[in-house]
Structure 1
Amino acid sequence: MKRHYWYILLTYVIMLFSGLVGYRLLLLLGVDRGQVIGYWNIISFAVGLTVVLLLLRKDRGDFDLRGTPASPSTAAGWAIGGIFLAFLAQIIAANIEIQLFGIKPGSENTQRIMDIVKVTPLMIFVVSIAGPILEEIVFRKIIFGTIYKRTNFVLAALISSVIFAVVHQDPSHILLYSAMGFTFAFLYVKTKRIIVPIIAHLSMNTLVIVIQYVYRDDIERLMKDAEQLQSIIGGNFL
C-alpha cells in the first residue's frame, strides 16, 4: 500500500474517534449540549476531507485499478445508473433481512443522523457530501483497491463492504450496508474511476436525507401503520 494511503486511513480513524475530545471541547466553549455532536461532526469531517484530498494530490493521473478507465461519458452514465443500482441493492437486502431474519425495516444509524440533522441542519453537509467522499476514498479506493490487486473482486468487495457496514454502527443491517458496499465496488471496477461511486453514493445519500428531512412525519406514520398491520395479520394466523 502506498505510504500516503496509510496517512489517509490514520486521518479517517482519528476523525471517527475525535469526538471523545471534541465534544468536551465544544461544551467548554459554551456550545449547546444538543448541538455538540452535530457541530463537531461538521468540523471533524471538513478537516478530515481537506487533509485526505491534499494527500490524494500525489495520485493525480495515477489509476489504482488495472485496466483502462472509462471515458467521461461512460463514467457519467454509470454514475447516474449507479444511484438506481444502489437503491435496488438496498431494497433487495432489506427484503432479505425482513423475510429471512425478521429484522424490522428502518435503520438506527439513519435515525440517529436524522435526529442530529433536525437539531443541526448543517449536518447535511456531512451526510450528503463529506461522508460519502471520504467513505469511497477509504473503503473503495484504498481498502477494496488494495485487496483487489492481490485477490479477486468477490473477496475484496466482501472484506471492504463488511468493514464499511461495521463502521456504520448498525449491526442488524450489516447485510444492507454490505450490499451497498458491493454496489459501489462494482461501479469502481466497472469504470476504474473512483469519482463514479462517489457521485452515486453522495446522490443516494442526498436523496435519502432530503426525503427523510421533508417527509419525516409522514414516514414515521407510515412505519407505525405498517407495524400495526403486520401485528394484525400475524395475530390472525396465531
Structure 2
Amino acid sequence: MSYQKNQFFTLLTYILLLSLGTILSMLSITGSAYFLTITLGSLIATGVMIYLVKLSGPLPFEKKSDLNHDLQWIILGTVGAIVVQFGIGFLDQLVFHASTNSQNTIGLLLMVKEYPYYFLYVMIAAPIMEEIIFRRVFFANLIKPTNIYIAAIISAVIFAFMHQDTRFLVYVAMGLWFAFIYYKSKNIYVSAGSHIIMNAIVLTMSIA
C-alpha cells in the first residue's frame, strides 16, 4: 500500500467512526445500544488506525526511542497540557469572558456516568485516534508543503473546530502543545499517552 493510500484509509476510518453516531440516530438506536455500539466501533477504529500507522512505517522525523525517553516526554506532555489548558482557559475567561466550563467535557462526563463503559472511548480510543489524525495525518503531512509552524496552527485549528466547544482557544493551544510533544519526542504514541493521561486527570477533577 502506498503512503498516500495509507493516509487516506486512516482518515477514512476516522470519518466512518464519526458518521456512526449519525447512522445510529437515523436508525432510531439510542440509549445503551447507541453508546455500546459507539464504544465498540471506536475500539475497532483505533485498532485499524494503529495497524495503518505500523504499516506506513516511520515518517522522516520519527525515530525509535527507548522507554525511558518516551516516559520522560509523556510526563512533560501531560504536565504541560494541564498547565496550558488551565492557563489559556483563565486568559480566555479574563479577556473574552468565556465560560470556565467546557461543554464538551460536561457532556462526556454525563455520558460516562450514565454508561460507564463509554470511558473506553473517551479516555483511551478518542485520544489515540485524535493524535493519529490531527498530529500524524494533518500536522506531519502539512510540514513539507508549508512549514512546521503553519502546519501546527492549521492542524490545531482543525482539532479545535472538531471539538465544537465554546473554549475554542483552549483547544487550539492544546493542539499546538501536542504537536510540539509529537515533533520533539518523534513518537506519535508519546503525545497520545500524554493526551490519555491528561483526559483522565481532567475528567477525574471534574467528577470530584
> TM-score higher than 0.5 here?
yes
In structure 2, what is the Cα distance between the partners aligned to 1:158 and 1:57? 26
Residue 46, structure 1, aligned to residue 28, structure 2: no
Structure 1 unmatched runs, 5+: 28-32, 216-238
List runs of 5+ in structure 2 lacking aligned partners. none
Once the two structures are superposed, residues 74-109 of structure 1 have per-residue CA deviations (whole angstroms, 9 ceiling, x without a partner) of 222111111010011112210121111011101011
Preserved CA contact (<8 Å) 2:99 2:167: no
User: Which TM-score applies when normalising by structure 1?
Assistant: 0.80
Q: How far did 1:173 drift?
A: 1.0
**Aligned residue for 1:19?**
21
In the alignment, the residues of structure 1 paired with residue 93 and residue 114 of structure 2 have an alpha-carbon distance, to the nearest angstrom, of: 31
Q: Does the 8 Å contact 2:85/2:174 carry over to 1?
A: yes
- The count of corresponding residues between Structure 1 and Structure 2 is 206
Say if 1:109 and 1:37 are closer, same or farther in 2 by CA, change over 3 A.
farther
Whether 1:9 and 2:11 are equivalent positions in the alignment is yes
Q: 2:203 aligns with which of 191, 209, 226?
A: 209
**Corresponding position of 2:54:** 57
Cα-to-partner distance string for 1:127-186 (whole Å, 9 max, x where unaligned): 11100000000000111000113322221111001101111111x211001111111100
Q: Distance in 2 between matches of 1:78 and 1:57?
A: 21
Secondary structure of the equivalent of 2:121? helix
Q: Distance in 2 between matches of 1:190 and 1:15?
A: 29
Which segment drifts farther, 35-44 or 120-129?
A: 35-44
| Contact map agreement 2:63 2:187 (CA 8 A) in 1 | no
Residue by residue over 1:185-206, the C-alpha shift from the partner in whole angstroms, topping out at 9 and shown as x without a partner, is 0011111111110110001111
CA–CA distance in structure 2, aligned partners of residues 197 and 9 of structure 1: 18
Selected match of 1:126 from 118, 121, 128: 121
Q: Within 2, Cα distance between the matches of 1:63 and 1:205?
A: 26
C-alpha distance in 2 between matches for 1:117 and 1:180: 22
Matching residue of 2:190: 196
> 1:126 & 1:113 partners in 2: Cα distance?
10
SS at match of 1:150: coil
Instruction: Report if the CA contact (8 A) 1:26-1:36 is conserved.
Output: no
Secondary structure of the 1:104 match is coil
Could you tell me the TM-score, scaled by structure 2's length?
A: 0.91
CA RMSD in angstroms comes to 1.8
Secondary structure of the residue aligned to 2:88 is: helix
Take 1:47 and 1:69, find their aligned partners in 2: how far apart are those partners? 25
Per-residue deviation at 1:71? 4.4
